[in-house]
Amino acid sequence: MDLPPLNGYILQNLDRINLVLGKNGCGKSSLLRSIDKCLFNKGTIGKVKYITPERGGNLIYDPGIDNTISQNPTWLMDTRRTNRFDQFRQQSMAQYRNLELLSLREIEKDKKLRLDLDHTFDTYVDKINMLLDSVEIIRAKSGFKIILQTNGTEISSDKISSGESELISLSIECLVFQKEVVPNKPNLLLLDEPDMHLHPDLQYRFGILLKSICSIENTYILIATHSTALLSALAEESYTRFEFMTLGQKKFNFKTIREAYNKILPIFGAHPLSNVFNEKPLLLVEGEDEERIWQQAVRTANAKLKLYPCSVGGKANLNEHEDEAVSIMKAVYEKAKAFSLRDGDGIDEDISDKPPLVRARLNCYSSENLLLTDEALAIIGSCWDSARVGIEKWMQDNTSHPHFDAMRSFAQSSFDRRLSNIKTIRNDILGILGCDKPWEVVVGKAIASIAESNNHTYSEGKMADFLGKKVVENFLVTE
């Protein structure tokens, strides 16, 4: 679906669930409020509902709220076109009573629903309770009361967590919207930072509710957020679209969640304002072998090496994953950083960065060559001179071995352990050295050893020389 131009904004290719991600202050709220004002009560559009970003108040029934809503039909929406409304949750309690009324009227009008004994207003109460961990709501004369799940003791609304209060309020608002949709017209729910006060697990659960809301035909949800956790919760659905927003942006062309985002988004799952991501930057690597190497390095370095390795499934995918990571960081994070690492592959030239992502190549042919560094050989209990002797003897005894030609090619290079292609013989070399550990584990521990000791010697055969100065000075951040 495309929306008509709205106060200078152009939105194209919307589907059932659409997310706009951007930093605080980039204009997400202004975008949603403009859509609300331009489309509210337009004949070509059905129901339009905007949920303000900062939602204050308590989940208590206030008769004055009900009276104001009945006397002034636009008051509810007018009060929400601000960044904060201190009685939002009191409004939600009034909306709960409206939800009950709408549900009972629906049952009265539909004979099939009247005959379905399982379909009552409690159906909607159950949808709310499914989101909650320690409390639940039960119907009461003034709306509902809140009880502890453990023993059924009633608890006041100001005693529950902000996350639980937020979920109850948002769920009511969304379910009321679902009941008020206008058939045969597009209906639009505008959620401004629904992730506020919700940790990633609660955001995921709320995402499940949103999926059920948008199952109604002609229902569209537009979410402004800076939470990649919420995007991750909805990313698996084919009808989820998203767009990044920067300051001053007016045109939005929503796109699907591509494979690169599915791979990267779980890493960005922590709330961006927590700075968890910045404390453990993303490291994009070519394949699973490299991912295991750097995972081992991080584990072994005793918190002195802070990276989050992520395989992109092959060198051909690195550029796409780099671009997607940069898009996320620029739109969501302040002072973000991330890295990507390629094999050297015999290429002797620098690779340019994609700020804020630092790109580097190994100063050796491939990750396998790191196995032949002095540090990795020491972990095995060997050294380079002994390894050469062992390889020469192996060649004398294994002339019919399938990997003999590859091993001979290595020898003919004057045993150039840094620049030779040893991918096919890495495990043969491990066997020659009498090592039964996976090569990735050995290499990972060797990288960790120089990170822990801060020993960055670039002389021949050293791990720092094989990794290269750019990798060492940017990736091996120690404390």
Distance of CA 405 to the CA centre of its chain: 46
β-pair partners for 243: 20
Kind and range of the H or E run holding 280: none
Q: For residue 260, what pLDDT is reported?
A: 59
Torsion angle (degrees, nearest 10) of CA 265, 267, 268, 272: 160
Looking at residue 278, its amino acid is N
Q: Is 9 helix (H, G, I), strand (E, B) or coil?
A: strand
In order of their start, the domains of the chain are 10-130+162-257 (3.40.50), 270-479 (no CATH)
* Strand ranges of the sheet holding 357-361, from the earlier edge strand across to the other edge: 308-311, 282-285, 338-342, 357-361
Contact 477, 278 (CB under 8 A): no
Question: What backbone torsions phi and psi does residue 148 show, to the nearest 5 degrees?
Answer: -75, 135
The helix, strand and coil proportions of the chain, stated in percent and rounded to the nearest 5, come to 45, 15, 40
d(CA 327, CA 317): 16
Token digits of residue 154: 């009633």
Residue at token pair 């396998």: 368
Token digits of residue 3: 């929306």
Q: What is the pTM of this model?
A: 0.69
d(CA 206, CA 194): 9
CA distances from 1 to 14, 64, 350 (A): 5, 39, 44
Distance of CA 429 to the CA centre of its chain: 40
Residue at token pair 């002389």: 459
Q: For residue 276, what pLDDT is reported?
A: 46
d(CA 278, CA 287): 23
Q: What pLDDT tens digit does each residue of the chain (479 aa) get?
A: 999 889 899 999 999 999 998 888 889 999 999 999 999 878 889 999 999 888 888 888 888 888 888 888 788 888 887 777 788 899 999 899 889 888 888 777 776 666 665 667 888 899 999 988 899 999 988 789 999 999 999 999 989 988 899 999 999 999 999 999 999 999 999 999 998 878 777 888 888 899 989 888 899 999 998 777 777 778 778 899 988 888 899 999 998 876 656 666 655 654 343 344 556 788 999 999 999 999 999 999 977 788 889 899 999 999 999 998 898 888 777 777 899 999 999 998 889 999 999 999 999 999 999 999 999 999 999 999 999 999 999 999 999 999 999 999 999 999 999 999 999 999 999 999 999 999 999 999 999 999 988 778 899 999 999 999 999 999 986 54
